Amino acid sequence: MHHPDLCIAGAGIIGLSLALELHDRGYPVTVFDQGAPLAESSTAAAGMLAAHDPDNPPELLPLASLSLSLYSNFLDRIHTLSGIRVPFQTHATLQSVPPGTCTAESELTREDLAHLLPALTPSDHRFLLLDEQSVDPRQLAPALLAAVRATNIDLQPHTRVLSTYSIDDAVEITTPNGTIHTAQFINCAGAWAAATSRLSNISVAPRKGQMFSVVLPPSLPLHLVIRTPGIYIVPRTAGPATGRAIIGATVEDIGFDKTVYPANIDRLRTLAATLLPGIANASQLEAWSGLRPATSDGLPLLGVLPTQPNHFIATGHYRNGILLAPATARVMAEFILGEEPSVDLSPFSPARASTQVASP
């Protein structure tokens, strides 16, 4: 059976995961990116699969739970195609919660914490132990790219989608290389998505996160993530980055500026050291920033544009793009191909009105 072709703008983790899903269903796929694949938030991320972070909007949970259930198969598929096995880095997270938000049985006692992580200074925080994994996006990205390159997906980096125009049952796409027609177009351009799709009710904009990495001192072996509303500390335990920790992150509304400021990094270090004093003098390796694609209500945009039946969008994953990639690929492929999506997509509709403003 001949399948119509599909074009994606954005070769980040969302665009490439969707390309693989559509390819696996037999569809010819082209992916354009204005720069190099996976070069933006997909590799700036810490890689926590934080489906149960209490700061997530509750409407996200069905999509997040689906993604968690798909994650091992997603990594297996990448392994099969690329030969690269991406390991889980951690399997547990110490999550700080405000007083009164958890039952006395689920909250860890001071003794539990001292046993679990003697180096921790819990100060005023109350902690839960979440059964949560993390991956290293810098391992995932090359593996995903190799997987895509092992298929006949047509990946066109450094080729910006300049404009799109819906005509009858096709979309006309213009890039610096010319104009082509595609049966369906999917905008996965992350923080840059608003430049390509006319979004009326709810838009997407960059929200900057600065972060840094350190070498953990031998006195501070860390095998789980520590997360409070203001800071996270994510250790690497497998692969070339073993023994490092990623510490993040700022949350800033200042457009597409990715400048890293030492004063912001120092503040993150100070916050992290209130939990793990050994971080205060840990050697810094790198500092960087990424641009999270944020919507005004904190929920992704997943669906079709109200007045353009062949123009789809999958972006706005904000702090959870690494987590949500497998489920986004699954539900968007189902939606685009006219199947019933595995989760209700109405909370993520591009036609929804913005009812609340996500706090930074």
Min dist CB 351 to ligand GLY, Å, is 26
Partners of 286 in beta bridges: 213
Distance of CA 358 to the CA centre of its chain: 17
Selection from 51, 17, 140 nearest residue 88 by Cα: 140
- # binding residues, ligand GLY (CB under 6 A): 8
Contact with ligand GLY (CB under 6 A): which of 77, 125, 244, 319?
A: 319
Binding mask 266-305 for ligand GLY (x = CB under 6 A): --------------------------x-------------
Contacts of 116 (CB under 8 A, 6+ apart): 94, 108, 129, 224
Is 186 near ligand GLY (CB under 6 A)? no
**Burial grade of 25 (CB within 10 A; 0-12, 13-18, 19 or more):** middle
DSSP for 1-34, written as a single string: -PPPPEEEE--SHHHHHHHHHHHHTT--EEEE-S
**Span from 44-52, 113-121, 254-262, 299-307 in contact with ligand GLY (CB under 6 A):** 44-52
**Span from 41-49, 185-193, 238-246, 264-272 in contact with ligand GLY (CB under 6 A):** 41-49
Contact with ligand GLY (CB under 6 A): which of 94, 148, 214, 249?
A: 249
Is 141 near ligand GLY (CB under 6 A)? no
Is 209 near ligand GLY (CB under 6 A)? yes
Q: How far apart are CA 347 and CA 34, in angstroms?
A: 29
The residue (of 63 and 171) whose beta carbon lies closer to ligand GLY is 63
The residue (of 21 and 53) whose beta carbon lies closer to ligand GLY is 53
Contact with ligand GLY (CB under 6 A): which of 46, 214, 265, 304?
A: 46
Count other Cβ atoms within 10 Å, centred on residue 225. 27
Cis previous bond, 249, omega within 30: yes
Provide the binding-site residues for ligand GLY, judged by CB under 6 A: 45-46, 48, 209, 248-249, 292, 319
